[in-house]
Amino acid sequence: MVEPSSHKFGDHDLQEVLVWMPQVQSADSVFWIVFIHGGAWRDPTITARNFAEPAVSILLSDTAPELRIPEGKTLAIASLSYRLSPHPSYPQDPETAPHSSLRIAKHPDHLDDVCSGIAVLRREYGLSDHRYILVGHSCGATLAFQALKRHVETGSPAPRALAGLAGIYDIGRLLENHKDGPYAEVYASFIKGAYGEVEKVWAHASPCRFYEHGCGDSDSHSVSWNKLCSRRTFLLVTADGDELVEPEQCEEMKYALTARHETHPADDVGETQGCRYSEMSVEGGHDEMWQQGDRMVKVIQRLFMILAATGIFETV
């Protein structure tokens, strides 16, 4: 498999974006898949590289399955790394560990790094509006929606579509659902480790509750929510054996997208002012969704199929 190039965007070891880039003539001839890994905002064993490689090894192979990317475009892939929060199973001594490797991130540090990584792609490769999709797993799906929101707020290039795999869309609800379970302390630890103790912060950071808080300077939350969703495609994916994130998270996000915005079935043809929503399920457990590259590839194939069938790519 082709080795990715690495681009640093900060002093921390984890502030990096990996790029698998073909030989192309211009930025306009590329369409991007941008991966955001999960790991509860803190797992150092899940990296930008080992998260993306199972799918990349298939997508860029000589026997790669057909992807219905825009006509005349070449596929490029990026995977974003970001600073992590502390993990009790991987303790560090702040007195002896290099500052560049300390895992002490707090929200919005993770999001800041994701957006900085996308900015690198814009600066170095000409990434532009609607010429990429975001694919995030677990908390990576949370970060994908948060990044979309920030890009809408700031006028930065926003993705054409977003695929969320086993995403965490209501942070407080996840904690509530597991408060009496055998792993209650684990859920409380990683949520509070990343977002602190204030429930209002959890709510503002939860994608399915963005409509309550608006996006940017708009006085109308509904108007700004519409701006976030408008003319975008969302694919929410669950794993049929997910042991960590319950399907209710997907249902909450589906409700936010479909009940609070003009929404069109994924097979509607042509441009609309609303968003398109679709969902699918893959086999296996929470992490098998990305560890088994063929499952991630199926998600990407589905998303490109939706985009191609609706005629949206004609405007890319």
Please give the positions annotated as active site: 138, 242, 286
Cβ-contact 7, 120 below 8 angstroms: yes
In this structure, the number of other CB atoms found within 10 A of the CB of residue 98 comes to 9
- Rounded Cα distance, 114 and 121, in Å: 11
- Beta bridge partners, 164, equal 136, 236
What contacts 212, CB < 8 A, 6 or more positions away? 203, 221
Rounded to the nearest 5 percent, the helix, strand and coil shares of the chain are 40, 15, 45
Classify burial at 315, counting beta carbons within 10 Å of its beta carbon; exposed 0-12, middle 13-18, buried 19 or more: exposed
